[in-house]
Amino acid sequence: MLMYDVLALSAAMCWAVGGLIAVAPVRRLGPFAFSRWRMLMVALALWAIAAWAGSWRQLSLQEAGLLALSGLVGICVGDTLMFAALNRLGPRRTSILFSTHSAFSALLGYAVLGEHMSLQGSMGGLLILAGVVGAIILGRHKDEDHAWERTNGSPRLGVALGLLSALCQAPATLIAKPVMAGSWRLDGTVVDPIVASAIRMSVGCIMHFALLWMGLPAARVQAVPTLRDWAMTALNGIVAMGLGMTFILMALEKGDVGMVAILSSVTPVLVLPLLWWRLGRPPAPGAWLGAMLTIAGTALILYR
């Protein structure tokens, strides 16, 4: 088992927990306002850590520019679209749409970076994708009426937003890969993932505030934030963005784009036990079949 495999799986767990935390504040505040405030909180925290460590001084202008572009595509656009889909479809349906980013990333990694997977790794990736899709499609009880399973607005628009979000994550990961791998550095050093996350977060945050200042109606907060809203937004930012995104950037230092994306796409399966705990009933039997396929695929990749 390689360290970047563990980091990618850790990111998936962070996103699973963060996704459930986000449901209530996203639906109260709106996806734009939620994304804006959580990015601001996380960016300030990450820059404080980077300033204390002093590692930001080692970053070149070229590296900073690519990380900024990655943040613009993946965080500003991609994450906002994902939360807009979450607002309409709930966490289970959004998860299946977002998990398709692993396929997009694998294809881009092959086409642009010339990455190749072994036969065992490819089989593992296919099992993971099949398991994730199966776990979500078959993971709902017929009599399920929890608020998280209801649609809010147009389902077709929610599906389109979820797929666009996944499509944004793939090039964002591809852009960040050469920076995190230290491709431009001759001394063998790598970029500090804390600084990289701070740059990506800051760009997304600035763009969101720009949309608000330009008067975009969707960017306005939909309800007066409560103390609970602030707390849940901050917690989601720490878990999903502060930890999850940093783990992904660390994994990209040595791991292939496609493999890291596939391992981090197991989030929907990791959501199953969390939904069981939250809703008070186990997932449908079909969800466990998907989970077993995902576990088998993950094992093939980890022990390749």
**Residue pLDDT, tens place only, 209-235:** 988 898 878 788 888 889 999 999 999
Count CB neighbours of 214 within 10 A: 8
3-state SS record for 56-74:
HHHCCHHHHHHHHHHHHHH
**pTM of the entire structure?**
0.76
Whether the predicted pLDDT of 186 surpasses 70: no
Structure confidence at residue 30 (pLDDT) = 86
Question: What is the Cα–Cα distance from 264 to 98, expressed in whole angstroms?
Answer: 11
Instruction: Give 279-297 pLDDT, tens digit per residue.
Output: 777 777 777 777 777 777 7
pLDDT of residue 144: 57
Q: What SS3 state is found at 116?
A: coil
pLDDT in tens, 126-176: 777 777 667 666 656 565 555 555 666 677 788 888 888 888 888 888 888
Pairwise pLDDT comparison (147 vs 255), residue with the higher score: 255
What's the pLDDT tens digit per position in 69-96?
998 898 888 878 887 887 777 766 677 6
How confident is the prediction for the chain on average, in pLDDT? 79
Q: What are the respective helix, strand and coil percentages of the chain, to the nearest 5?
A: 80, 0, 20
pLDDT of residue 202: 92
Domains in the chain: boundaries: 3-302
